[in-house]
Amino acid sequence: MTFPFDEEILSLPFYEERHRALAGQIAAWTTAHSGLWRDVEAEDDPEKTELSIIRALGEDGWFAFLNESEAPDFRSLCLRREGLAYADDLADYAFSIQALAATPILRHASAAQRERYLPGLADASQVAAFALSEEQAGSDIAALQLRADRVGNGYVLNGRKAWVANGGIADLYTVIARTGEGPGALGLTAFLVPATTPGLQVHDRIRTIAPRAFANLTFEDCRLPADSVLGRPGHGFVVAVEVLDRFRMTVGAAALGFARRAMDAALGRAAERPIYDGRLLDLPTVRATLADMEVKLNAAALLVARAAWELDHGRRRFAKHSSIAKLYATESAQDIVDAAVQIHGAAGLIADSPTGRLYRQIRSLRIYEGTSEIQRTVIAQSLDLTRVGRTAP
Ligand SMILES: Cc1cc2nc3c(=O)[nH]c(=O)nc-3n(C[C@H](O)[C@H](O)[C@H](O)COP(=O)(O)OP(=O)(O)OC[C@H]3O[C@@H](n4cnc5c(N)ncnc54)[C@H](O)[C@@H]3O)c2cc1C
């Protein structure tokens, strides 16, 4: 059985016995279910592959926390993403989008909305998506234009959403739309929109360099009852930012999973590749590259663990650490994957080789849930200016 985690990191006080047990369960599950992503041509039909992974995760209780009284701790969510990403890109995607899209419902839904939606999301008979971005409004959430006009006892939605993960396979979309209670970010509201709502259409399915269920949506006179509002009118920005603040660290965790797989592949190749009457692993420059990869892996793992620990312990400034973890882990994972390709030489570039796939799969993590530049902006805003003047001479 492959163990996708670093046992030394897991033994640190950031983690508890239940986390170490969970790591073992994740390793066992991904080993037993690898056929879900190996036996099928995942890249030819990512939607079908992803749906079968979501259903299998649901059947085995991986989303049960979505219908339990206690919200999940983020160390557990991060470990799930790390282990699934180590195993497969779509396995991580299938888990993460369902968890992310259901979280605003967990945090803001009325009792009736919870009863209506959470059981189906928890057993994965229903699939969720989170539709925030638009073509002209990605990083700039305040520029969202999809309109939700108050008509009679409900709302009518008109406009578009872009880059929606699970778009096309979702049964339920959480949609952030402009209701105009205030300017910019103050005039947004979250809505729960079943995929069957007349006027909601998948405009186009998007093929990216690492194929996945991903689509643009159109809303044309899409009528919703007033009880579709999630949380309060005018509160949509808060609904969106709250979930992003929390899930950014999980993107760091997924990056860690991809990076550790790249590291393992690089080590294996370096140890087995004969060269100059020895092995690649014997060359000092290659050893130095591997050492740099190891340092980055450790730093990323510690930053992810710290961010999740901060959130799980109710620390107010967890969002800063979530951004730090995402920024460092995703940027360093890109470096680690690139170094793994380099160590493989030409063999590293074969399209369906592990390194070839990782090279395509790792790229999007520096863009979604806030680009690296947005994370830097958040971190810069959180700098402690009370330290100014305290510098030692
Ligand atoms: C795989 C994937 C899945 C996604 N899933 C979803 C989803 O499920 N739901 C959803 O709503 N969206 C989703 N997105 C969209 C994603 O959230 C946006 O792509 C992201 O927020 C960036 O927006 P943008 O693409 O419009 O780029 P832009 O905002 O146009 O940014 C372009 C460039 O400008 C830089 N930039 C922007 N603002 C600043 C700034 N203030 N300072 C410095 N540089 C800046 C950016 O960092 C970037 O380099 C997904 C994207 C990907 C790739």
Q: Above 70 in pLDDT, residue 10?
A: yes
Q: What is the DSSP letter of 137?
A: B
Q: Which residues, at least 6 apart from 259, have a Cβ–Cβ distance to it below 8 Å?
A: 293, 296, 297, 300, 329, 332, 333, 336, 337, 362
Q: Is the CB of 353 under 6 A from ligand 1?
A: no
Q: Is the CB of 130 under 6 A from ligand 1?
A: yes
The predicted pLDDT at position 393 comes to: 62
The predicted pLDDT at position 42 comes to: 60
Q: Which helix (H) or strand (E) holds 156?
A: strand 154-165
Summarised one tens digit per residue, pLDDT across range 277-336 is 999 999 999 999 999 999 999 999 999 999 999 999 999 899 999 999 999 999 999 999
pLDDT above 90 as % of the chain: 92
Cα 372 to ligand 1 centroid, rounded to whole Å = 9
Give CA 169 to chain center in angstroms: 17
Q: Ligand 1 pocket: which of 135, 144, 163 to mutate (most atoms <8 Å of CB)?
A: 163
Name the residue ranges covered by the structural domains of the chain. Answer: 7-122, 128-235, 238-384
Catalytic residue among 50, 82, 331, 369: 369
Cα 192 to ligand 1 centroid, rounded to whole Å = 22
Q: Is the CB of 53 under 6 A from ligand 1?
A: no
Cα 211 to ligand 1 centroid, rounded to whole Å = 18
Are 342 and 348 in contact by the 8 Å Cβ rule? The answer is yes
What mean pLDDT is predicted for residues 238-249? 97
Q: Is the CB of 172 under 6 A from ligand 1?
A: no
Is 272 one of the catalytic residues? no
Rounded Cα distance, 255 and 249, in Å? 10
Q: Is the CB of 297 under 6 A from ligand 1?
A: no
Summarised one tens digit per residue, pLDDT across range 51-85 is 999 999 999 999 999 998 887 799 999 999 999 99
Q: How many CB atoms lie within 10 A of CB 23?
A: 22
Q: Is the CB of 163 under 6 A from ligand 1?
A: yes
Rounded Cα distance, 51 and 82, in Å? 20
Q: Is the CB of 364 under 6 A from ligand 1?
A: yes
Cα 304 to ligand 1 centroid, rounded to whole Å = 21
Atom of ligand 1 nearest to the CA of 371: 47
Are 259 and 89 in contact by the 8 Å Cβ rule? The answer is no
pLDDT above 70 as % of the chain: 98
CATH fold of 128-235 reads Butyryl-CoA Dehydrogenase, subunit A; domain 2 (2.40.110)
The predicted pLDDT at position 72 comes to: 78
Q: Is the CB of 133 under 6 A from ligand 1?
A: yes
Are 282 and 297 in contact by the 8 Å Cβ rule? The answer is no
The predicted pLDDT at position 43 comes to: 66
Q: At residue 390, what is the residue type?
A: R
Are 297 and 220 in contact by the 8 Å Cβ rule? The answer is no
Tokens of residue 234, six digits: 């005018």
Q: Ligand 1 pocket: which of 100, 250, 371, 379 to mutate (most atoms <8 Å of CB)?
A: 371
Q: What is the CATH number of domain 7-122?
A: 1.10.540.10
The predicted pLDDT at position 166 comes to: 97
Summarised one tens digit per residue, pLDDT across range 369-386 is 999 999 999 999 999 888
Are 78 and 308 in contact by the 8 Å Cβ rule? The answer is yes
Atom of ligand 1 nearest to the CA of 133: 11
The predicted pLDDT at position 39 comes to: 58
Q: Which helix (H) or strand (E) holds 81?
A: helix 74-87
Cα 370 to ligand 1 centroid, rounded to whole Å = 6
**Confidence label for 392 from pLDDT (cuts 50, 70 and 90):** low
Choose among 81, 116, 108: nearest CA to 4. 81
Average per-residue pLDDT for the chain: 95
Domain with residues 238-384, CATH architecture: Up-down Bundle (1.20)
Q: Above 80 in pLDDT, residue 265?
A: yes
Nearest CA to ligand 1 atom 31: 139
Cα 110 to ligand 1 centroid, rounded to whole Å = 30
Cα 138 to ligand 1 centroid, rounded to whole Å = 5
